[in-house]
Structure 1
Amino acid sequence: MKWRPWPHSLAGQMVWILFIGVTLALISSAAIHLYDRNEAMVQMEGLQAAQRFASIVQVMEPLTPAERAKLAPILKTSNQFVALVDAKDAPQIDHSTEDARAGRLKRLIARYLEGEHPILVEVLPTSTEQHPMQGMRQMMRHRHHMAGGGPLFNHGFSYIARVQLSDGRWLAYHNHLPEEAFIWPWHLLWSILILIVVVTALAFLAVRLVTRPLARLAGAARALGHDLRSPPLDQSGSREVREVVTAFNAMQARIVQHVQERSAMLAAVSHDLHTPLTRMRLRVEMLKEAKLRDALLGNLTEMENMTESAMDYIQGSEGMEEVRLTDLPSLLEELEESWREIGQDVTVQCCDLSPFPLMPRSFRRALSNLIQNGVKYGKRVEVKATMHGERLRISVADQGPGIPEDQMERMLRPFKRLDASRNSKTGGTGLGLSIVDSIVQAHGGKLTMRNRPEGGLEVILTISKKAFLS
């Protein structure tokens, strides 16, 4: 099965759009949060470090060189180093390329120092892997100035601040914000994932609530195509859904009324025509000239057949008959016997067919029309019925000339006939296959035709119980 990134259903498209939108929004907000978090931590740690360094300067300033040398190692911690550097060994910093963070830290240290002291601040690279040569030079220079004070960390925010004391010596202070302050907050990632899952699940439920009435309406529309007497939809749900359901039920009622009025009109016309046709038949039968009498009787018979066929077509397309569980073997055997009684070669094969929901009178008419066509054009007719799960398949095959492939679809239209059949012997109304097709469609089935390799036409009726009853 080919995977499609964009779903075809309305529910899938809405859920997909909400999922992408929520994910992008959460990722964007998380990125902004992490950036602000890092900035806030750097500023807070920088403020605390500036206060500590200013306090160290204030303590070191009044002491003698010997006292300063004793105090410097005591101030050493895991994250800070303090050392005294002679003025001749102090490095020169290019202020034109001063880092913005170095400038902020320099201003913070100056704020907490009393009096004017020359201040130099140098921000060190955060990773020697990203800046191998520069990081090595910084590390060597730091160790030189700190007199072996310890290694630099490769993560976090590290800097060296220098303040010149009153005696000209420089007090160097190296501070490193702990690595733990910059560890990726995995709990934030889990929170985002949980939020995405919860929002997507709620969006799916909301979309299902919105699209479920559409699926119910589509099912009702399919049922209406099979059975005009299907019950109206329950008017439940939101206001918009109830309005759509009300309009659909009203449309169904108007369609049923229109079909009933049309059927009543055709039945009345058929009934009204039956009386004058009967009178004409009686008068024609009284004619003495046999040739004229037979010709007129043939015309009357054709008119009666056309009237009956038109009524059969209307009734079959309406699907107004009640659906019942039908004993298919009995129905097929009755058809076989009725045709054999009039001397036609019709055989039926059916294997263990369980009762199937059908409109029995209409379905019998469809099979009779197919057998009649087969007998008329193919002499011998074979009917075979099989059941595949809940799917019924009935084939009616004859040994006639068949139908050209390009004419098969045309033959299912009302009042359409092949040119070869338009004669007094085999001609008809052109409604036989149309009636069968309309009846099969009313059962939710499908009619297909094919020319057999050994000769003759095979018409296949396929009806699904699930599709019909839905």
Structure 2
Amino acid sequence: MKRERRIRLWPRGLVGRVMLVLLASIGLVFVVSWTLYEHAEAYIEDGDRLDLIGERLATDVRVLDGAAPTTRPMLTTMLSTNDLRMIWLPVSAPPDREGEPARMSELHRQLVAANPVLAHAQLRLHPGRPGKWTDVTGTILLADHSQIRFTAPDILRSHVVTRGLATATIVSLSVLLAAGMLVHALSMPLRALATVADTVGSGEWEPLEEKGPREVRRLAHAINEMQKRITHLIEDRTEALAAVSHDLRTPLARLRLRAGFLADAESQESIEADIDEMEAMVGGVLAYLSGEKKREPSRSIDLAAILTTIADDAHDRGAVVIYEGPHRLPMCLPPLAMKRVFTNLVENALHYAGSASIRLTAERGWVIVDVEDEGPGIPDLEIGRVTTAFYRVETSRSRKTGGLGLGLAIVKREVERTGGSFTLENRLTGGLRARVMLLTAV
């Protein structure tokens, strides 16, 4: 069975589609030029026709002035055409007392300037009847005060420059609109690619639909395959680290048990301190990896209550933590993640300064939490690096805390997941300020 071949008007490739857009634009421009040319010709024809009517009226005045009154009705019938219809009225006919409208003045001036006979014949012009607005009627007085009443049909067609400009504007906008729609359709797959590229490696990636021009489909397929490889690498790394960190708990527990049987108290204390440090490292790694693999859903919480609870817990341990802010501030946030964020910041301040202060404020759609200490601070060159996972500042921060450099990395990750921002800065009076900014409408 033969496969039916269909003729595709829309090209498959990006080059073909761009060429089609250009071809369509050129075609529309040609139509615009042709339309304007037709209007220009009509405008010239109307000018020639007006001059011809003026000359005929002037000639007819001379002819009828020299003819006997009895022959004038027949002459006006003979002189009438489709472009100029005339009738003769005797002296006894009522005169034309209707005033000439102001919009007829330009037409009157053109006719009189080209044919001075019409000025002496007291030419009067009037617009046509309702439904015949493009017609012009008028009267001319002959030497014996009899009248010629005439009608010039369809002489007021609006082939003026403003109409030509309006036509050019409308068609030009149509060209721009058509070209814009086509280019927009071409660029949609590219914008989708840019959006997906921003999420590569973030864990929030969704496969990109492979559609559009041939080149774009190939690029989309390449990005999908690249993202799959990156996802597998991240998952393998995360599972390996999680497995190693989890498996270390068992030998650490055995070491702690064996250290309890040592007779040397000093050696026992040193070994248990090392075990505590290693357990803290394992706990930090597991906390970081557990938050990386899955995200906690947001729900309504009282941020002020969480901060006061952290301050009270530290106070119960004998630490100095001061809270400043409202007693209640409801927000929609992941509760455990936010508690971990501010606990890490407070513990960080207590480790390196011995005290901390928490300030909670709300302004212009943002909730700002500042955790400040009076410790040694961080060198300016290192501030941008300390939020990187497993990075430690050797020169200004003690290693006695047993951390792996994951506390601030967890803070940055969880805050940015809520749409907020996390910054560190050295205070002018000494110490460090950690600022968390959260959107009120999350």
Q: Counterparts of 1:254 and 1:325 in 2: how far apart (Å)? A: 37
Whether 1:402 aligns to 2:371 is no
Whether 1:347 aligns to 2:292 is no
Once the two structures are superposed, the pairs formed by residues 228-239 of structure 1 within 5 Å of their partners are 228=203
Corresponding residue for residue 269 of structure 1: 244
Corresponding residue for residue 413 of structure 1: 388
Give the Å deviation of 1:426: 4.5
Whether 1:193 aligns to 2:169 is yes
Q: Counterparts of 1:279 and 1:252 in 2: how far apart (Å)? A: 42
Amino acid at match of 1:374: A
Q: Counterparts of 1:320 and 1:377 in 2: how far apart (Å)? A: 30
Corresponding residue for residue 439 of structure 2: 464
Partner-residue secondary structure (3-state), 2:437:
strand
Q: Counterparts of 1:245 and 1:325 in 2: how far apart (Å)? A: 39
Q: Counterparts of 1:441 and 1:398 in 2: how far apart (Å)? A: 23
Corresponding residue for residue 421 of structure 2: 446
Q: Please tell me whether the aligned partners of residues 350 and 385 of structure 1 are also in contact (alpha carbons under 8 angstroms).
A: yes
Corresponding residue for residue 299 of structure 1: 274
Once the two structures are superposed, the pairs formed by residues 26-425 of structure 1 within 5 Å of their partners are 28-29=33-34, 32-33=37-38, 36=41, 77-78=57-58, 184-198=160-174, 200=176, 228=203, 259-318=234-293, 320-351=295-326, 353-421=328-396, 423=398, 425=400
Give the Å deviation of 1:325: 2.3
Amino acid at match of 1:416: Y
Q: Please tell me whether the aligned partners of residues 43 and 159 of structure 2 are also in contact (alpha carbons under 8 angstroms).
A: no
Structure 1 residues 411-442: Cα deviation after superposition (integer angstroms, max 9, x where no partner): 22233323345655356322222222222222
Q: RMSD over aligned Cα, in angstroms? A: 4.8
Structure 1 residues 162-189: Cα deviation after superposition (integer angstroms, max 9, x where no partner): xxxxxxxxxxxxxxxxx98997353333
Amino acid at match of 2:362: M
Change (3 A) 1:248 1:349: farther
The 10-residue stretch of structure 1 (290-299 or 241-250) with the greater mean CA deviation from structure 2: 241-250
Greater helix share, structure number: 1
Give unpaired runs (5+ residues) of structure 2: 1-21, 63-113, 120-154
Structure 1 residues 291-329: Cα deviation after superposition (integer angstroms, max 9, x where no partner): 222222222222222222222233344452222222212
Q: Please tell me whether the aligned partners of residues 348 and 383 of structure 1 are also in contact (alpha carbons under 8 angstroms).
A: yes
Q: Counterparts of 2:329 and 2:194 in 1: how far apart (Å)? A: 30
Q: Please tell me whether the aligned partners of residues 259 and 318 of structure 1 are also in contact (alpha carbons under 8 angstroms).
A: no
Give the Å deviation of 1:403: 1.6
Q: Please tell me whether the aligned partners of residues 238 and 289 of structure 2 are also in contact (alpha carbons under 8 angstroms).
A: yes
Structure 1 residues 25-48: Cα deviation after superposition (integer angstroms, max 9, x where no partner): 676445544565577779x87xx9
Give the Å deviation of 1:266: 2.9
Q: Please tell me whether the aligned partners of residues 324 and 358 of structure 2 are also in contact (alpha carbons under 8 angstroms).
A: yes
Q: Please tell me whether the aligned partners of residues 421 and 427 of structure 1 are also in contact (alpha carbons under 8 angstroms).
A: no
Q: Counterparts of 1:206 and 1:282 in 2: how far apart (Å)? A: 74
Corresponding residue for residue 131 of structure 2: none
Give the Å deviation of 1:396: 0.4
Give unpaired runs (5+ residues) of structure 1: 1-16, 50-74, 83-142, 152-178
Q: How many residues align?
A: 333
Q: Counterparts of 2:309 and 2:302 in 1: how far apart (Å)? A: 11
Amino acid at match of 1:291: E
Partner-residue secondary structure (3-state), 2:324:
strand
Amino acid at match of 1:410: R
Structure 1 residues 216-271: Cα deviation after superposition (integer angstroms, max 9, x where no partner): 77677778887x468x6897998999999999888877766665554443332222
* Pick aligned residue for 1:432 from 407, 416, 428: 407
Q: Please tell me whether the aligned partners of residues 380 and 399 of structure 1 are also in contact (alpha carbons under 8 angstroms).
A: yes
Q: Please tell me whether the aligned partners of residues 325 and 357 of structure 1 are also in contact (alpha carbons under 8 angstroms).
A: yes
Amino acid at match of 1:189: L
Q: Please tell me whether the aligned partners of residues 278 and 402 of structure 2 are also in contact (alpha carbons under 8 angstroms).
A: no
Structure 1 residues 329-361: Cα deviation after superposition (integer angstroms, max 9, x where no partner): 221122112111111101222326543222222
Q: Counterparts of 1:22 and 1:363 in 2: how far apart (Å)? A: 61
Q: Counterparts of 2:201 and 2:324 in 1: how far apart (Å)? A: 31
Partner-residue secondary structure (3-state), 1:411:
coil
Structure 1 or 2, whichever has the larger Rg, is: 1
Give the Å deviation of 1:200: 4.6
Corresponding residue for residue 53 of structure 1: none
Partner-residue secondary structure (3-state), 1:410:
coil
Q: Counterparts of 2:326 and 2:201 in 1: how far apart (Å)? A: 31
Change (3 A) 1:353 1:213: farther
Amino acid at match of 1:369: N
Partner-residue secondary structure (3-state), 1:394:
strand
Amino acid at match of 1:193: T
Q: Counterparts of 1:199 and 1:353 in 2: how far apart (Å)? A: 58
- Percent identity between matched residues is 28
Give the Å deviation of 1:204: 5.6
Amino acid at match of 1:187: R
Structure 1 residues 190-226: Cα deviation after superposition (integer angstroms, max 9, x where no partner): 3333334455556666666666677677677778887
Q: Please tell me whether the aligned partners of residues 19 and 196 of structure 1 are also in contact (alpha carbons under 8 angstroms).
A: no
Compute the TM-score of the two structures, normalised by the length of structure 1: 0.56
